[in-house]
Amino acid sequence: MNPFSVNVQRGPNETCVIDLGGYLDAHTATELESAIAAAIDGGCARLIVNFADLEYISSAGLGVFMVFIERVRSAGGDIKMAAMQPKVYTVFDLLGFPVLFNIHATVDEPIGAFATA
């Protein structure tokens, strides 16, 4: 099992890219929650979550995104998701998350979507 990693990169126009890696579960969800809270508190209302290196997500990990979605949307932002591995996407899909969140094939797609918003 690969350890969980989270890295936030600030971009232009209140945008932050959050790179995830390893396993996101009940034990590591607080790390993600802290990183997202810090990004929002630092002025990022437009969040892009890069799942390219995330191998596993549990319902606790999914719950972190629900904690913040209303907060960023009320600030005029959003949380967009990108580059999910098939088994991670399956978990999102089973729980109906594609209805709540925009899921993109690459990180560049939501960057472009935010740029035109």
- Grade residue 13 by pLDDT with cuts at 50, 70 and 90: confident
Tell which wins on pLDDT, 55 or 117. Answer: 55
- Express as a percent the part of the chain with pLDDT over 90: 87
* Span 20-48, pLDDT tens digits: 999 999 999 999 999 999 999 999 999 99
Examine the pLDDT at 116 and tell me if it is beyond 80: no
Examine the pLDDT at 115 and tell me if it is beyond 80: no
Residue 117's pLDDT is 61
Alpha-carbon torsion 39, 101, 25, 18, what sign? negative
Structure token pair of residue 21: 């890696």
Residue 33's pLDDT is 97
Q: Report the phi/psi class of residue 25: left, alpha or beta, with left for phi > 0 and alpha for psi in -120 to 50.
A: beta
| Residue 24, number of CB atoms within 10 A of its CB | 25
* Rg (alpha carbons) of the chain, rounded to whole number: 13
Examine the pLDDT at 111 and tell me if it is beyond 90: no
pTM of the model: 0.94
Examine the pLDDT at 1 and tell me if it is beyond 80: no
